[in-house]
A and B are shown apart, each in its own frame.
Chain A
Amino acid sequence: MRGLGLRPEFVDTLLASPSVQGLDFLEVAPENWMQIGGRKRDQLDRIADCYPLIAHGLSLSIADTEPLNTAFVRDVTRFLDDYGIAIYSDHLSAARDGTGYLYDLLPVPRRAENLPYLADRIAQVQDITGRRLVLENISAYHRYPGEMPEGAFFAELVARSGCGILLDINNVYVNACNHGTDAGAFLHALPSDAIVYYHIAGHLELADGFLLDTHGTPVADAVIDLARDTWALHGPRPLLLERDNFVPELGALLQDLGRIAGAIDEDRHVLA
């Protein structure tokens, strides 16, 4: 199965032809659509009639150190229920400190002693939403000293909380390049049966070689290679191409998604 993140740039194109070949599902950020009326609401209602939706949030801030924003989680739950969305994912990150929200996906210290707290937070969210929370590995540009390896931390969190994993293959690549860590070791540490779906995206390489997860360029060949390794290790899952900047026309995006999916699974054609 192949999907795209729903973008305003191509909503009208999608609505003009309710069934598009090569597009099996759409991902929506609940924050961008919930409690909103007017044209956007109208568009989403019509899109939801044509495509299965996955909700991929930005603002849950599951790993911050403030009391969980339960009002927000309840609002998200209403949105999920209204549109019959079974899968709710967000990021293993924080967006809020003691001062307030910062509006970014910030890394939190990966320490064994923080795991019980995070698992309890996940249980809180799962209790409210009535759904398994699915968490994505982020591109982190900061490392706290003496942290646990990312794979071991994620695996332990899954074991404690029962959450699912949204495995972002570009983020694995970006982190490995920027921090000199082993992408393969990260992938091997993850429990296959917890992986719900995959993200793939493009990144920007700065002059000094540092990588930024911008979702604004085509997917790099090295990331496609890593995705092929991921497929071999964990098996096929729904694959979603993220493109949030310099968004091309829908046809071009779908062509790119088809190319990537074909390259990843060129032997077995499971995605075809």
Chain B
Amino acid sequence: MSLPEPVAPRAMVAEFNSFCMTARANGSGLYGQLLRENVADALRSSFPLFTDRMGSAALEAEIDAFLLRHSGTRPQFHHIATEFVLFSQRQGVAAPELTALLEYEWALLAAEIDPATVPSPATTMDDIALNPTTRLVLLRFDPARPAAAGGGVDRPHAIFRTAEHQVLTLALTLPDCLVIEHVREVEAVSSASLFDALDPYLPPFELQTSLARGFASGLFCPPHKTLGDLP
């Protein structure tokens, strides 16, 4: 049985919240500065491209707004990055291409620290699962040159971590997208079943090419469980 929830004295609540509100609102006070530096450090470390493109003055204004308006619910300091992405999406404060860059860098970070264990590379392509750290994103820029992010056409990409802990961004073809969609639905699938299921939509050669590329990069991997164990 858990202990009853303690209730803070009203005077303590008022006194502490007043102190915090001053720190949130006033960037010139010492705690106001410290809060802002903590957020800025976390953003520069997690989102180097975004913060560089945004520039110092605009970033400071964003951090001021973040501290004043955002209700952070994740206690860990390293979740400042996630909280800032949520704030930015809700408020729509940054230009669309900057928001896209922010979301791209967040996906890189999320794949890097995803708690899932990535299976070792397969020796065969008999059983197929999607790498459990995969994030599917639409990018309007070339991830090889993200600093040049600008307007363009949305193209699908997969961001994932390999068994050797490398984070990769892979541009997806239409066959890749069809395979991913099917594999995600069923969690894992045998190669034979996949060929049967996609036969109406994809020539076998294109499917074979997509699987070979996906396995070579680590986007596809063997399932954690044997297929017989899956529901």
* A contact residues vs B (CB 8 Å cutoff): 31-32, 35-42, 58-61, 64-65, 67-70, 72, 94-104, 106-109, 111, 113-114, 117, 120-121, 123-124, 127-128, 141-142, 144
The answer to whether B75 and A117 touch across the interface, beta carbons within 8 angstroms, is no
A-B contact count (CB 8 A): 132
User: Contact between A108 and B3 (Cβ–Cβ < 8 Å)?
Assistant: no
Distance in angstroms between the alpha carbons of A32 and B45 in the assembled complex: 14
Interfacial chain B residues near A102, Cβ < 8 Å: 20, 23-24, 35, 67, 72
Q: A60 CA to B75 CA in the complex, in Å?
A: 8
B21 at the A interface (CB under 8 A): yes
State the Cβ distance, B121 to closest chain A Cβ, in Å.
16
Residues of B within 8 A of A36 (CB): 113, 115
Do A65 and B8 have beta carbons less than 8 Å apart? yes
Contact stretch, chosen from B76-84, B135-143, B171-179 = B76-84
A123: chain B residues within 8 A (beta carbon): 3
Closest partner residue, chain B, to A30 (CB atom): B76
Q: Please report B residues at the A interface, Cβ cutoff 8 Å.
A: 2-3, 5-9, 11-13, 15-17, 19-21, 23-24, 30-31, 34-35, 38-39, 42, 67, 70-78, 80, 83, 112-117, 133, 161, 165
Measured CB to CB, the nearest residue on chain B to A73 is B75
Distance A40 CA – B109 CA, assembled complex (angstroms): 12
Closest to B71 in A: A100
Which of B5, B13, B77, B115 is A103 in contact with, Cβ under 8 Å?
B77
Structural contact, B74 and A101, CB atoms closer than 8 A:
yes
Decide if A100 touches B70 in the complex (CB within 8 Å). Answer: yes
Given contacts A59-B75, A109-B12, is CB(A103)–CB(B80) below 8 Å?
yes
Nearest A-chain residue to B37, judged by Cβ:
A104
Is there an interface contact between B114 and A97, defined as CB atoms closer than 8 Å? no
A67 touches B5 (CB 8 A): yes
* Chain B contacts for A58, CB-based, 8 A: 76-77
Structural contact, B7 and A117, CB atoms closer than 8 A:
yes
| A108–B16 CB distance below 8 A | yes
Given contacts A101-B73, A144-B19, contact A120 B6 (CB under 8 A): yes
Beyond A106-B19, A124-B2, A128-B2, 10 additional pairs, beta carbon < 8 A: A38-B133, A38-B165, A65-B16, A99-B20, A102-B23, A104-B35, A106-B20, A106-B31, A108-B12, A113-B12
Residue in B6, B39, B72, B75 with the greatest tally of chain A CB atoms within 10 Å: B75
* A64 close to B3 (CB less than 8 A): no
Q: Which residue from chain A places its CB closest to the CB of B38 in the assembled complex?
A: A103
Q: Are B9 and A31 in contact (CB under 8 A)?
A: no
Q: How far is the CB of A7 from chain B (nearest CB, A)?
A: 14
- Roughly how many angstroms separate A59 CA and B70 CA in the complex, as a whole number? 18
A101–B42 Cα distance when bound, in Å, is 14
Nearest CB of B to A213, in Å: 11
Query: In the bound complex, how far is the Cα of B13 from the Cα of A67, in angstroms?
Result: 12
B11 surroundings in chain A (CB, below 8 A):
111, 113
Chain B nearest Cβ from A252, distance in angstroms: 23
Per the bound structure, the CA–CA distance linking A61 and B73 in Å amounts to: 12
Contact at B3–A124, with CB atoms within 8 Å? Answer: yes
B15–A39 touching, CB < 8 Å: no
Nearest-Cβ distance from residue A36 to partner chain B, whole angstroms: 4
Q: Is the CB of B113 within 8 A of A100?
A: no
Asked whether A111 lies within 8 Å of B19 as measured between CB atoms, the reply is: no
CA distance A96 to B36 in the complex (A): 15
Q: Are B17 and A31 in contact (CB under 8 A)?
A: no
22 cross-chain CB contacts under 8 A: A37-B113, A38-B161, A39-B112, A40-B113, A65-B16, A70-B2, A97-B17, A97-B24, A98-B13, A99-B20, A100-B70, A100-B73, A101-B83, A102-B67, A103-B72, A104-B31, A106-B31, A111-B11, A117-B6, A117-B7, A141-B31, A144-B15
Given A38-B165, A117-B8; A61-B34 close (CB under 8 Å): no
Pick the contact of A142: B24, B31, B38, B76 (CB < 8 A): B31
- Residues from chain A with a CB closer than 8 A to the CB of B23 are 102, 106
Which residues of chain A have C-beta atoms less than 8 A from B3's C-beta? 120, 123-124, 127
Contact B74 A42 (CB under 8 A): no
Q: Which residues does chain B contribute within 8 Å of A70, judged by CB atoms?
A: 2
Alpha-carbon distance between A38 and B6 when the two chains are bound, in angstroms: 38
What's the minimum C-beta distance from B100 to chain A, rounded to whole angstroms?
24
Q: Is the CB of B16 within 8 A of A97?
A: yes
A111 touches B12 (CB 8 A): yes
